Structure 1
Amino acid sequence: MENEVVAVLGPQSSGIAHVVSHVVNELHVPLLSFAATDPTLASLQYPYFVRVTQDDSFQMNAIADIISYYGWREVIAIYVDDDYGRGGITALGDALANRRADISYKAAFPPNADLSVINDLLVQVNLMESRVYVVHVNPDSGLNVFSIAKSLGMMGSGYVWIATDWLASVLDSSQPSNPGMMNLIQGAIVLRQHTADSDLKRSLVSRWNNLVRTGNATANLNSYGLYAYDSVWLAARAIDQFLNEGQVISFSSDPRIHDANGSNLHLSSLRYFDGVNLLPYPVPCEFILFGDGSKNPNYNELVQKVADNYFDAAVGDIAIVTNRTRIVDFTQPYTESGLIIVASVKERNSSAWAFMKPFTISMWCVTGIFFLFVGAVVWILEHRTNKEFRGSPKQQLVTIFWFSFSTMFFAHRENTVSTLGRFVLIIWLFVVLIINSSYTASLTSILTVQQLSSRIVGLDSLISSSDPIGYQVGSFAKNYLMEELNIAETVGQEFTKSGWGFAFPRDSPLAVDLSTAILTLSENGDLQRIHDKWLTSTGCSSQDAQVDSNRLSLESFWGLFLVCGVACLIALIIFFFRILCQYSKYSSHDEVERCESQGGSSRGLARLTSIKELLSFVDKKEEEIKNAIRRKSIDRQQQVENSSTGQSPSPA
């Protein structure tokens, strides 16, 4: 919109047309669409959307007439799952409903689907009762549907295939005599959009064929190409009619030169804000241009002419400086002025290791350690309950590393089944999300904005620099830089402030009265509104535009790592507490028997054996441990019952 666009042509898909239509409605710019056929794109919802072609409801009614003519009551719709496919199939369903037919099954596949997805879809629809298929897909994947259908034997007798105008566009665009393509679609019914024959059409087709023969065009012309040509003609015709009606097209990107009421601007006449009316008495005035228009006038010379009574007053961006106040009287400043440094910005060369710059070394190290630490914690929590975290030591080590670093891309294939494992993983995935987002934002800044740099960043660097300095001829900048700073000029912040005022001869009463008028304008806000409208700077770089390539350090993320680490420790404490409770139940009976059978000299060996048993216990599956505890409890009860039965007296 910065280039004063008057119309937008395209896009070639209905999905993008939906998005662009929202934008052009806000900007009040017409969108001429020659390929968006989704019936839901209506001018009632999008007033600035102009469809140059026909929407899909027309061809869907034609398909419904064919189906009704042959007496078919059910069809299967094969379509691409986007705005284009869904809108067309919805229109087909409405058209069939009016003819007492319906769509028995809607077989949708995602855009850019591979052959396996399409093959599975066709195998599924082949098992259904209906053998009438309506194919409404994109040209990119449409021929794959017919190719797979032919390999599955679905193109023979007993099947009916109806393709919308996408297939006609493919056939028209392809080079003639393509036997492979024609063999795929033998027996299919294809709809083609009708374009009336005319001299303009024959001329366009002839010129396009010449481009194809000379190699300047790679495809033949189809119906959508004709509609695109009409769209360009429509925009050109509108602009031509606009000019013929005497309207003016501006090629300036500044919207402020247009009148708010829509009237023509006569730039040859001078327009000014008549603040002289605020004076207590009438002051007739005549504006005389100063300078020849080819080079900047000398402001000191202008002020001198006022002092010499050659001019009654000087109006303009005249800076109020000391040497000028000695010879003329100035009004109250109507705006502040000053000197700023405008320096060129050079682009720095990118480094091969630029992807390492977003984080500091400590941040990289801590992040890598936490990836391994969280992976090890999840492995500990899942090892006893999840078969995906079991296996040989080598396999388990590979699992830890794979699971740790695959969480960086949320691509871990191992499922967590324990409550503690899921608790730790949820917190860690949140940390990874924050780290990934921060890394992406920082890297983008480094590779774009932060590649812009300048050696001159202020007054001191300008003084020490040997670069040539430019200044406006006739301004006081030259004297200030040479006499005050002992250089010849300066980025960013103003280093001196003065103001702009109107110059009058010494002791002129107009200077005091006009100063009062300027203060009145300042108090009621008119002066600020004029300043905001015409003097707002939008182009020059300043000190605020300097970039700072601050790298993300550990201090910015230590809170996240602290929360994640505490969560891991809490989960481990709960996990090992449960392990010890289970182990005490598991080994209580064996420990009693071992103490009764062994003497005091073998207690140390018993403790060593207990440690080995504990490690072996931790490595076992939790289900096996629970079953073993249950069996030992049953055996112990049986032993107690047997012992009590053996001590009872036998019957007489």
Structure 2
Amino acid sequence: MVAATSAVVDLVKNEKVHAIIGPESSGEATFMIKLGEKAHVPIVSFSATSLSISPSHSPFFVRTAQNDSSQVQAITTIVQGFGWHDLVLIYEDTEYGRGLIPFLTDALQESNIRVSFKYAIPTSMDPYEISQHLHKMKKRQTRVFLVHVTSPFGSALFPLVEKAGMMTEGYAWLLTNTLSNCLDAMDPSVIKSMEGVLGIRPHFPASEALENFKRRWKWSAPELNIYGLWAYDTIWALAMAAERIGDVSNLGFLKGRGSDVEGKTDIANLRVSEVGPMLLKEMLNIKFKGLSGDFHLVNGHLQPSAFEIFNMIGRAERLIGYWNPEEGICQNIANKKPNEKYSTSVSKLKKIIWPGDSITAPRGWAVPADGEKFRIGVPKKQGFNEFLDVTRNPQTGELNFTGFCIDVFRAVADALPFPLPYEFELFKDDAGDNSVIYDDLLHQLAEREKNKFDAVVGDITIVASRANLVDFSLPYTDSGVTMLVPIKHNMHRSMWVFLKPLSLDLWLTTIAASIATGIVLLILEQNARRESLQPLELLCLILWFPFSSLVLPEIIYASDKKLFVNFRHFH
């Protein structure tokens, strides 16, 4: 960082440059950008992709590359496509390594993907310390690892990963584009230790100009990567900006505040460029077809493009598919279909060779060999063995747990999206008796200090007193309690069977109330009649009313005479 800062001061003060291409790494960029702002000299970088530095916060910083956030959606889509719900994040403990982590974690969590553990590789890259952390991660259930490091850290990490036995079947390793773009420069032995790894890197479209450049490049240099193409396009863009502003021979550097003062440092005495702001303005407006694709700066950096998804096989990289912001995962980037829906399906990728030469996609988790298991208490009782039965193998002495309750528990455990290591244990009280007493069993589960069971499986009825001790699952079967009563076929049958539903007292009370009502009605109606009724007729009407009120409709006939009573007045 000191060397980079000294170089900037020398270029601005002695060489009188109006723009600087650099720095190479994000760690050197922070202080260099401040010097560029002071001298009004644009700092143009094709490799400082960290999110800790941004053109929006530094007006004289131009990033002619994609920033690291452009790959976040691609990584999240790939993890979603394989159905992984947890992963371990490994990154280098530098400003560059830490810059992407908050954005990546937020994007994963929004897609219901949990980062179960984060490990920052120290800058010392001590092999022993890294190995110790790898063995700790090996004891965890998660088997998906996302690596965000530069090539020096990657060269130190993956040989230790292979040595720790974490490049075997069941593991999945993903690389961000930082390491993916530098694989060609890594040692072949390191590449060999990465077999089965998946990675992403920016896609640059094929063109005649690119092929011609590659042919010329091979005569004097090794394989060309994306950084070389971005560097080539950066130089072209800066040259085009210089041509647009024309002759600037009469322009130079102006004195800034506090410049040319004795006793101050070279940094404080930096002058201000007159040409720098002009170059910056033209640079941000330039558009052309470069070797890396369309060169167009938005908010000071290149816009995200498509990514290639590749698989490490042996010492080579095999392209298995693409990702782009419009379609998601696709097989061929050239054949875009109109109105194509965003896809997270990994079935569009070519066949993948995973670590351990496996062709089956890892499920993302595994039960560690030395991990703790949940202790599931099981009661033993006589009868109803279809629900729950505990038997002992006479030869091995092992207990066999069977029955409907055990089958339901195993089915639920298998359907969980995460591993649930467990073992069944026969319930015994403090005296060693395994006779079933459900309340004692639940008390042992509720008393955490005894630490006997983590859960209980059995035909245990849910009652209020037990619900105060433990949490029950939803009922998965009905007890089906019914009442059986004998049918008496020799019962005496008569015409008065309709009187059976009501008791004698209720019948008498109903009849008495009806007779009283009839008497009241006759008294009220007596004044409206022109002729008086005989006592016998009055008695018939009073006795007839209880029966007619239950059987007949609103109009009552008595002795062929109509009784004009509107019962609605009493409703």
Query: Is the shorter-chain TM-score for this pair beyond 0.5, marking a shared fold?
Result: no
User: Under TM normalisation by the shorter chain, which class is it?
Assistant: 0.3 to 0.5
User: Which protein is richer in helix relative to its size?
Assistant: 1
Return the structure number with greater strand share: 2
